[in-house]
Amino acid sequence: MNRIERLIGKMSLAEKLGQLTMTAADYAVTGPFAAGDSTEAIKAGTIGNLLNIFGADRVRELQRLAVEESRLGIPLLIGLDVVHGHRTLFPIPLGEAATFDPRLWSLTAREAAVEAAADGLAMTFAPMLDVSRDARWGRGAEGPGEDPWLAARIAEAKVRGFQGADLAAPDALAAVAKHYCAYGAVTAGRDYASVDISERTLHEVHMPPFAAAVAAGVAAVMPAFTDLAGIPMTANGALLTGWLRRRLNFDGVIVSDFNAVGELIRHGIAADLAQAAALALNAGVDIDMMADAYRRGLPIALERRWVTMADIEASVRRVLSLKVRLGLFEDPYRRGKTPESAPVIAARRRLARAAGARAIVMLKNDGAVLPLPDSVRRLAVIGPLADASAEMRGPWWAAAGSEEPVSVLAGLRGMLGESRVLHQPGVEIDAESVSGIASALELCAHSDAILLCVGESAAMSGEAASRAHLGLPGRQRPLAEAVLERARVLRKPVIVILFSGRALVVPWLIEQADAVLAAWFPGSEAGNAIGDLIMGRIGPSGRTPVSWPRAIGQVPLFYGQRPSGRPADPKDRFTSKYLDASDAPLFPFGHGLTYGECTLSNLRVTPESVTEHDTVEIRVDVANGGARGAEETVFLFARDKLASVARPLLELKGFGRIHLDPGQSGTVTMFLAAQELKFLGLDLQPVFEPGEVEILVGPCADRSRLLAGTIQLAPPPRA
Which strand (E) or helix (H) includes residue 345? helix 342-359
Using DSSP, state whether 19 is helix, strand or coil: helix
Smallest gap from residue 580 Cβ to ligand BGC (A): 36
Residues 5-64 binding ligand BGC (CB under 6 A) are 51
Smallest gap from residue 293 Cβ to ligand BGC (A): 16
Closest CB to ligand BGC among residues 463, 689: 463
Residues 218-277 binding ligand BGC (CB under 6 A) are 257-258
Smallest gap from residue 128 Cβ to ligand BGC (A): 7
Closest CB to ligand BGC among residues 291, 697: 291
Smallest gap from residue 379 Cβ to ligand BGC (A): 39
CB 617 within 8 A of CB 606: yes
Nearest to 506 by CA among 531, 474, 472, 476: 472
Smallest gap from residue 119 Cβ to ligand BGC (A): 16
- Cα 436–chain centre separation: 35
CB 216 within 8 A of CB 156: yes
Smallest gap from residue 115 Cβ to ligand BGC (A): 18
SS3 readout for 264-312: HHHHCCCCCHHHHHHHHHHHCCCEEECCCHHHHHHHHHHHCCCCCHHHH
CB 607 within 8 A of CB 684: no
Closest CB to ligand BGC among residues 125, 243: 125
Tell me how far apart the terminal alpha carbons of the chain are, to the nearest angstrom: 50
Per-state percent for the chain, helix, strand, coil, to nearest 5: 35, 20, 45
Residues 403-422 binding ligand BGC (CB under 6 A) are none
Nearest to 181 by CA among 122, 219, 236, 135: 236
Nearest to 517 by CA among 681, 599, 532: 532
Nearest to 423 by CA among 446, 399, 405, 455: 446
Closest CB to ligand BGC among residues 143, 626: 143
Closest CB to ligand BGC among residues 81, 101: 81
Binding residues for ligand BGC, total number by CB under 6 A: 7
Identity of the residue numbered 324:
V
Query: Is residue 203 packed enough to be buried (19+ CB in 10 Å), middle (13-18) or exposed (0-12)?
Result: middle
> What are residue 154's phi and psi, to 5 degrees?
-65, -40
Nearest to 228 by CA among 192, 196, 193: 196
Closest CB to ligand BGC among residues 257, 651: 257
Residues 455-484 binding ligand BGC (CB under 6 A) are 463
Closest CB to ligand BGC among residues 125, 558: 125
Q: Give CA–CA dist 483/465, Å, rounded.
A: 29
Q: Residue 646, Cβ neighbours under 10 Å: how many?
A: 13
Closest CB to ligand BGC among residues 22, 157: 22
Smallest gap from residue 125 Cβ to ligand BGC (A): 3
CB nearest ligand BGC: which residue? 125
Nearest to 437 by CA among 390, 475, 387: 475
Smallest gap from residue 290 Cβ to ligand BGC (A): 8
> What are residue 188's phi and psi, to 5 degrees?
55, 25
**Binding characters for ligand BGC, 161-200, by CB under 6 A (x = yes):** -----------------x----------------------
125 binds ligand BGC (CB under 6 A): yes
Nearest to 82 by CA among 145, 172, 146, 212: 172
Smallest gap from residue 211 Cβ to ligand BGC (A): 20
Smallest gap from residue 567 Cβ to ligand BGC (A): 39
C-alpha torsion angle, residues 217, 218, 219, 224 (rounded to 10): -150
387 binds ligand BGC (CB under 6 A): no
Q: Give CA–CA dist 668/410, Å, rounded.
A: 39
Closest CB to ligand BGC among residues 178, 591: 178
Active site residues: 257
702 binds ligand BGC (CB under 6 A): no
Closest CB to ligand BGC among residues 51, 386: 51
DSSP string, 587-628: B-TT--B-SS-EEEEEEEEESSEE-TT-EEEEEEEEEE-SSS
**Beta-carbon contacts of residue 298 (< 8 Å; ≥ 6 apart):** 17, 20, 274, 277, 278, 281, 307, 312
Smallest gap from residue 142 Cβ to ligand BGC (A): 7
**Binding characters for ligand BGC, 66-105, by CB under 6 A (x = yes):** ---------------x------------------------
Closest CB to ligand BGC among residues 128, 444: 128
Q: Which residues bind ligand BGC (CB under 6 A)?
A: 51, 81, 125, 178, 257-258, 463
